[in-house]
Amino acid sequence: MHPILYELEIAGRPVLIAAYGLCALAGALAGAWLTYRRLANQGADWMESVSILGAAFPMGVLGALLFGLAYRLLDRAAPPAPGAELHLVWQGGVALGVPAAAVMARRLGRPILDVLDAGAPGLFLGLACGRVGCLLGGCCFGSPTGLPWGIRYPAGHPACALYPGRAVHPAPIYEALLCVAIVAGTLAAGTPRRRGAVLAGGLLAYAAGRIGLELLRGDHDPALLGLTAPQLFSLAVVAAVLVAWRFLPRRAG
């Protein structure tokens, strides 16, 4: 666990470079680059691509922060962990970032669902990088495990208080691997017969996987009906995608 990667001094003041923030930034840049390339392949010029990314990125960050606040309110039993001060929730990023991209695409006259499909792999690439930051920062830890890849956090970490002397699942790495698999799947999907199917399929796969991965998390208690807040959010995503799927238009020919 390395919540602080670097400590610099600028103008006589200490500046801390947090692992989570650096990984989140790297993920955002990598996801933006991949989306830019995919939009270019669809025929968008650089100004159109930058406009779409410029609309989606800030709204996605705002949504992730707002959902992070809602998550903390629902999951008040969660112990504070190092690196969890800035809590981002992916569903919030999707909830505001995707509509923002759609609005900008419509203003530019670009096919909305094609634009959203172009951004799907970048979305999950960014999330994979962010989960590496979670591991380094010490948040989102797992439940106890006897598997050889279980990890032990240093003394004073909330996992030590909850599970003294026990190794826990590296839950953030599991989720990062899930996201990498989704990136590969969405890139391999090519051009499906239904517009919007790349994003819809990626969201469905991630939400379903997250529901299962929550069973291996050890950093929070159920919020409602025996389900954790991420499971509740993910179930909402699954329901929304299944309802929307039947309305996705087919490509001509």
More confident residue, 91 or 78: 91
Across the range 154-169, mean pLDDT stands at: 90
pLDDT tops 50 at residue 81: no
State the pLDDT at residue 86: 57
- The arithmetic mean of pLDDT across residues 199-220, rounded, is 93
pLDDT at 65: 82
pLDDT value at residue 252: 74
List, for residues 6-65, the tens digit of each pLDDT value.
Answer: 777 777 787 777 788 888 889 989 999 999 999 999 999 999 999 999 999 889 888 888
Q: Look at residue 87 and tell me whether its pLDDT is greater than 70.
A: no
The chain-wide mean pLDDT, for the chain, equals: 87
If you average pLDDT over residues 73-87, what whole number do you get? 52
- Least reliable range by pLDDT among 102-106, 107-111, 190-194: 190-194
pLDDT given for residue 15 in this prediction:
75
Annotate the chain with DSSP letters as a single string: --SEEEEEEETTEEEEEEHHHHHHHHHHHHHHHHHHHHHHHTT--HHHHHHHHHHHHHHHHHHHHHHHHHHHHHTTTPPP-TT-SS---HHHHHHHHHHHHHHHHHHHT--HHHHHHHHHHHHHHHHHHHHHHHHHHT-S-B-B--STT-B-PPTTSHHHHHSTT--B--HHHHHHHHHHHHHHHHHHT-S-SBTTHHHHHHHHHHHHHHHHHGGGB-S----BTTB-HHHHHHHHHHHHHHHHHTTPPBPP-
The reply to whether the predicted model has a pTM over 0.85 is yes
